[in-house]
Structure 1
Amino acid sequence: MILAKSTGGALADQETGPSGNPSRRLATVPAVFVPMPVWNPQAVGRPDVMFEVRERSRLVRAALERLPPEFRDTLVLKEYDGLSCEEIAEVLGVAVGTVKSRLFRAKLELKRHLAAFFASPSSLAD
C-alpha cells in the first residue's frame, strides 16, 4: 500500500486491484472546521458561539458524506488537502478535465444540500 501525497485529513491509498492494476480509494471525510465570522472578540469563548461553530462543522461534514464518492474524494483533495487539479488527476488516475468537472458538480451538490441550513431568513420567505 502506498500513501499518495496528502497535506491534510484525506489520504489516498493505492492498492493493486483484482486485475493487477492500481486501484485507489480515499479515507473518510476529514473532520471539518467551518470558521464562523465573529465580530465581537469577546464572543470567541462563548458557549453559544462554540455551539454554532460545531453545528456548522457537523452540517458540512454530513453534506460531504452524502456526496457520491468520486465527487467527495475530489473535493476533499482540493479543498482540505490543497492539491492542484493536476495532482488530484494523478492521485485518482483520471484526466484533469474530469477533476474539474467533478469539482464543479460536487460544489453544486454541496450547495444544494446546505442551502436550507445556510439560507438567510429573507431568502426563506421567497
Structure 2
Amino acid sequence: MGYSDPTFGFMDSFGTVFIAVVFVVIISVIIIGIGGSIKTWSKNNNSPQLNVPASVKTKRTETSGGSGESAANTWYYVTFEVQSGDRMELPVRGHEFGQLAEGDLGLLTFQGTRYINFERKIEPQV
C-alpha cells in the first residue's frame, strides 16, 4: 500500500484558494480604477465650462516606466492661479506644456478637472 501525505492535499487546496483570491483582488482593483475614471469623466462633463483670468505658477512632469525594454510614459501638469488666489493643477498635453511658461498671464478655459485651453495675454510693449 502507498503512503499518502496529508499535507500535500492541504497545500494543493491552499494553492487553488490563494490563486482565486489573487485573481479576485486583481479584478477588483481594475474595476475600481475604471469606476473612478468614469466618475471623474462624468463629473467633468456635468461641470460648467469656465473662462477665467489666470497665471501659470508652476509646471511639473511625472514619468514612469522606461527600464529595460519598456517605453517611458510622461504626464504633464500645470498649476494655474486665478484672481481669487486659488490654485489648481490640471493635466495638459505635452505640446501645451511646452508652450506655457511660468508667469504667463491669460485666460484659462477648463471644465471640472479637465484643461481645455489657455489663451496667453500679450502685454503691450511701451
Q: Shorter-chain-normalised TM-score: which range?
A: under 0.3
Which has more strand, going by share of residues?
2
Query: TM-score, normalised on structure 2?
Result: 0.25
TM-score of the pair, normalised by structure 1: 0.25
Which of the two has greater helix per residue?
1
Larger radius of gyration: 2
